[in-house]
Amino acid sequence: MLTLLSLHLSEPLYPGKFGLELRQLLQKYSSKSQKTLGYQRAREEIYSYVYNDPTDQAVYCVYSGSRMPCAYNSMDTGCNADLNCEHTVPQSFFNKQDPMVSDIHHLRTAWSNFIKKFHVCNLIMKSKVKKTC
C-alpha cells in the first residue's frame, strides 16, 4: 500500500510522524477508500474473479497449485466441494471479526482442509526411525 501511495505523492503523506501515530493516521487515510465486503461476499469474489482464471474456468490451490474447476463470474462459493478459503493470517488473531476476516489481501483458495482435524499427528520416537531403506 505504501508503494502505491508513494507513486501518487511527491512528498510524504505525514512528515515527521512515526510509530503508532503514523499507523493510526495511515489507517484513517486508507479507510476512506476501503469497503468491507463481509466474509460471504469476499469468498464469492475470490472464487469468481480474484483467483479464478477466466480461460480455464478454475481456481488453483495456493499450496499445491492443483486445479479446482469453478466457473468464472459465477459468484458460487459451492462450485467445488474441494474448495476452501484459507486465511493467511489466522482468524484467531482478530477473533474472526470484520473487516479482517473478509480482507481479500489475506484470503487464498486452497484444497479443503476440514479432514485434517480427524488425522491427528503423533510424535515419532527417534529410536523408531529407520535411516536406511
The answer as to whether 104 is a domain residue is yes
- Number of domains the chain contains: 1
Locate cell 527417534: which residue?
A: 126
The answer as to whether 23 is a domain residue is no
Cα 68 from Cα 81, distance rounded (Å): 9
Q: For residue 97, what is its C-alpha cell?
A: 471479526
Q: For residue 1, what is its C-alpha cell?
A: 500500500
- Encode pLDDT of 43-92 as tens digits: 999 999 999 999 999 999 888 888 999 999 999 888 888 888 989 888 88
- Encode pLDDT of 1-14 as tens digits: 444 444 555 788 89
Closest CA to 82 of 41, 52, 110: 110
Domain ranges, residue 65: 36-117
The pTM of this model reads 0.64
**Widest Cα–Cα separation across the chain:** 63
Using the predicted structure, report yes or no on whether residue 124 has a pLDDT greater than 80. Answer: no
